[in-house]
Amino acid sequence: MIARLILLWSLLGGQQDETQQFWMPFLERAQGLLLSQQPLPPSERDVLREELRTALAGRPEETPWSRLASAHLALLSGMDVEAVAERLGKLDPWPYPPGASWHAAICLPPGPRRVRAVTAGLRKAVDLERWELKLAWNTAVEEARSLRLREGALAIQRELHRRARAEWSALDLALTLRQLNEERACDEVLAEAIDQARGAGRPTAELWAQRGIHTLGFGDDSRARDYLGRGLAMGSRDASLMLARLDLVSGRRGAARAGFRASILGTSPGAWAQRGWGLSLLPRPKADPVGVRAISSSDD
């Protein structure tokens, strides 16, 4: 009995591998056409569409792989892919290996089903291609904008940062963690990114600045000033602006003026720096609002 089960499993596995090997070349060609940023002659799409139609007609039995091929055919034909994508998303358990999950993600609309496909794709063993990184990043951004933070954006960004270990992936992950009020995890991500950048001889100024900004968002002004000060010492404009803003809010107008002055004298000063500089030049009110500490004359 056990021997028969093993034989059946091997036959099914072999059939699955054969089906995957048959459809993957079509999917890879479709991906190249769908995501290409260069204008392509219509004939290339026409040829692939015809080949896909022929292949699907020759294999009428519906399988997860034929569903995926049908979705790509719909995309290449400019048809509404929603119905096919709906059927793809309902597949349970998820039938595609990590490499093929990326091809499924192309066809799925934003939401939990695309998140599932992308997170599965991020687990593939080989290095990620540029288009896969971009698709994962864009999907996480869409999830964050839709306020699907924990199950959407965070799920992707954790896997993406695990694979990329880059400054941009650390900053994206830290931002989502801050929005979820995960103070310790947010700080750990940025601390690790700083250590990694320092060890590789890369600049850490902006990482220190972002660590300070996030710490400020969690309400720890003292520690935030420390991190921002480190960023400022290394040349971070963001750190300079944040410290000047903190000085302005706390009534240290002279220090704020000096900080904003340094920012507007640089190349292409931002609107935030210009507004801060203008506010720091306004004269003192004749009387301080009730409850606000009087500003000393030495700070004018």
Note whether residue 209 is domain-resident: no
Note whether residue 170 is domain-resident: no
Note whether residue 229 is domain-resident: no
Question: What is the DSSP code (8-state) at residue 296?
Answer: P
Note whether residue 193 is domain-resident: no
Q: How many domains does the chain have?
A: 1
Print the domain residue range for 92: 49-164
pLDDT tens-place string over residues 221-254: 999 999 999 999 999 989 999 999 998 888 888 8
Distance CA 205, CA 71 (A): 46
pLDDT tens-place string over residues 188-209: 999 999 999 999 999 999 999 9
Note whether residue 4 is domain-resident: no
pLDDT tens-place string over residues 247-256: 888 888 888 8
Chain position carrying tokens 């999950």: 101
Give the Å distances, CA to CA, from 18 to 13, 30, 110, 268.
9, 19, 31, 58
* Residue 236 and residue 209 in contact, taking contact as beta carbons nearer than 8 Å: yes
Note whether residue 289 is domain-resident: no
pLDDT tens-place string over residues 91-115: 888 899 998 999 999 999 889 999 9
| Overall average pLDDT of the 22-41 stretch | 82
Q: Would the CA dihedral through 111, 116, 117, 118 be positive or negative?
A: positive
The pLDDT of residue 257 is above 60: yes
Nearest to 110 by CA among 159, 157, 64, 152: 152
Distance CA 113, CA 91 (A): 10
Q: What percent of the chain has pLDDT over 70?
A: 87
Note whether residue 15 is domain-resident: no
Predicted pLDDT of residue 79: 82
The pLDDT of residue 147 is above 70: yes
Tokens of 126: 């080989």
Tokens of 86: 């709906």
pLDDT tens-place string over residues 166-195: 999 999 999 999 999 999 999 999 999 999
Note whether residue 56 is domain-resident: yes
